[in-house]
Structure 1
Amino acid sequence: MKTRSLAGRVALATTLALTVTATAAACGSADGPAASGGPEKVTVWIMKDSVTDAFLDRFRTDFEARNKNIDLDIQIQEWDGIGEKVTAALASKDAPDVIEVGNTQVAQYAASGGVRDLSDKVAELNGADWLPGLAEPGKVDGRQYGIPWYAANRVVIYHKDHFAKAGVTPPGSQAEWLAVTEKLDTGTTQGIYLPGQNWYALSGFVWEEGGDLAVRDGAGWKGALDTPEARAGMDFYRRLQALGKGPKDSDEAKPPQADVFAKGDVAQIIAVPGGAKIVEEANPALKGKLGFFPIPGKTAGKPGAVFTGGSDLIVPEASTHPDAAYQVVKALAGETWQTDMARTMSYVPNRTSLARVIQDDEGTAAMAAGAAQGRATPNSPNWAAVEATNPVKQYMTAVLTGADPARAARAASESITKTLGS
Structure 2
Amino acid sequence: MKKRFLAVCTALVAATALTAGCGVLAGSDGGSEKVTLWLMKGSASDEFIEKFTADFEKQHPGTDLEVKIQEWKGIGDKVNAVLAGKGKEHADVIEVGNTQVAQYVETGGLSELTLEGLRTWGSKDWLRGLSDPGSVNGAQYGVPWYAANRVVIYNKDLFAGAGIKTPPRNRQEWIAATQKLDKGDQQGIYLPGQNWYVLAGFVWDEGGELAVESGGQWVGALDDEKALAGMDFYKQLQALGKGPKNADEETPPQAEVFARGQVAQIIAPPGQAAQIEAANPALKGKLGYFPIPGKASDKAGSVLTGGSDLVIPARTAHRSGAVDLITALVSEKWQTELARTMSYVPNKTTLARVVEGNEGAAAMAAGAAQGRATPKSGRWAEVEAKNPLKPYMTAVLTGQDPRQAAKTASETMSQVLNSDR
After TM superposition, the score normalised by the length of structure 2 is 0.91
**Matched position secondary structure for 2:176:** helix
Task: Name the counterpart of 1:90.
Answer: 83
1:67 correspondence with 2:63: no
Q: Is this contact kept in 2: 1:134–1:151, CA < 8 A? A: yes
1:130 correspondence with 2:126: yes
For 2:391 and 2:78, the matched residues in 1 are separated by 30
For 2:415 and 2:146, the matched residues in 1 are separated by 32
For 2:220 and 2:128, the matched residues in 1 are separated by 22
**Any idea what the Cα deviations from partners look like across 1:276-317, whole Å, max 9, x if unmatched?**
111001100000010000000001242000000000000001
Q: Which amino acid aligns with 2:100?
A: Q
Q: Which amino acid aligns with 2:126?
A: W
- 266-275 vs 215-224, which moves further: 215-224
Structure 2 vs 1, CA of residues 36 and 261 (structure 1 numbering), >3 Å: closer, same or farther? same
Task: Name the counterpart of 1:52.
Answer: 45
1:163 correspondence with 2:156: no
Q: CA deviation at 1:187?
A: 2.1
State which of 111, 127, 130 in structure 2 corresponds to 1:116.
Answer: 111
- 279-288 vs 77-86, which moves further: 77-86
Task: Name the counterpart of 2:7.
Answer: none
State which of 247, 252, 255 in structure 2 corresponds to 1:250.
Answer: 247
Q: CA deviation at 1:34?
A: 4.9
Q: Is this contact kept in 2: 1:95–1:316, CA < 8 A? A: no
Task: Name the counterpart of 2:221.
Answer: 224
Task: Name the counterpart of 1:399.
Answer: 396
**Any idea what the Cα deviations from partners look like across 1:343-392, whole Å, max 9, x if unmatched?**
11110000111111100111111110010000000011111111111001
For 1:64 and 1:33, the matched residues in 2 are separated by 13
State which of 87, 95, 99 in structure 2 corresponds to 1:100.
Answer: 95
Can you give the 5+ residue segments of structure 1 that lack an aligned partner in the other structure?
A: 1-31
**Matched position secondary structure for 1:269:** strand
Task: Name the counterpart of 1:321.
Answer: 318
Q: Is this contact kept in 2: 1:304–1:370, CA < 8 A? A: yes
Q: Is this contact kept in 2: 1:95–1:318, CA < 8 A? A: no
Can you give the 5+ residue segments of structure 2 that lack an aligned partner in the other structure?
A: 1-24
For 2:387 and 2:95, the matched residues in 1 are separated by 25
1:358 correspondence with 2:355: yes
State which of 251, 256, 265 in structure 2 corresponds to 1:259.
Answer: 256
**Matched position secondary structure for 1:72:** strand
Q: Which one has the largest radius of gyration?
A: 2
Task: Name the counterpart of 2:11.
Answer: none
For 2:105 and 2:69, the matched residues in 1 are separated by 22
For 1:380 and 1:307, the matched residues in 2 are separated by 16
**Matched position secondary structure for 2:72:** coil
**Matched position secondary structure for 2:267:** strand
Identical positions, percent = 62
For 2:76 and 2:393, the matched residues in 1 are separated by 28
Q: CA RMSD in A?
A: 1.1
**Matched position secondary structure for 1:100:** strand
**Matched position secondary structure for 1:99:** strand
Task: Name the counterpart of 1:153.
Answer: 149
For 1:417 and 1:142, the matched residues in 2 are separated by 23
Task: Name the counterpart of 1:273.
Answer: 270
Q: Is this contact kept in 2: 1:258–1:275, CA < 8 A? A: yes
1:368 correspondence with 2:357: no
Task: Name the counterpart of 2:308.
Answer: 311
**Any idea what the Cα deviations from partners look like across 1:384-407, whole Å, max 9, x if unmatched?**
111111001111111111110000
Task: Name the counterpart of 1:43.
Answer: 36
**Matched position secondary structure for 1:137:** helix
For 1:74 and 1:122, the matched residues in 2 are separated by 23
Task: Name the counterpart of 1:143.
Answer: 139
Q: Which amino acid aligns with 1:165?
A: G
**Any idea what the Cα deviations from partners look like across 1:5-38, whole Å, max 9, x if unmatched?**
xxxxxxxxxxxxxxxxxxxxxxxxxxx9556411
**Any idea what the Cα deviations from partners look like across 1:252-293, whole Å, max 9, x if unmatched?**
111100000000000000001111111001100000010000
- 88-97 vs 54-63, which moves further: 88-97
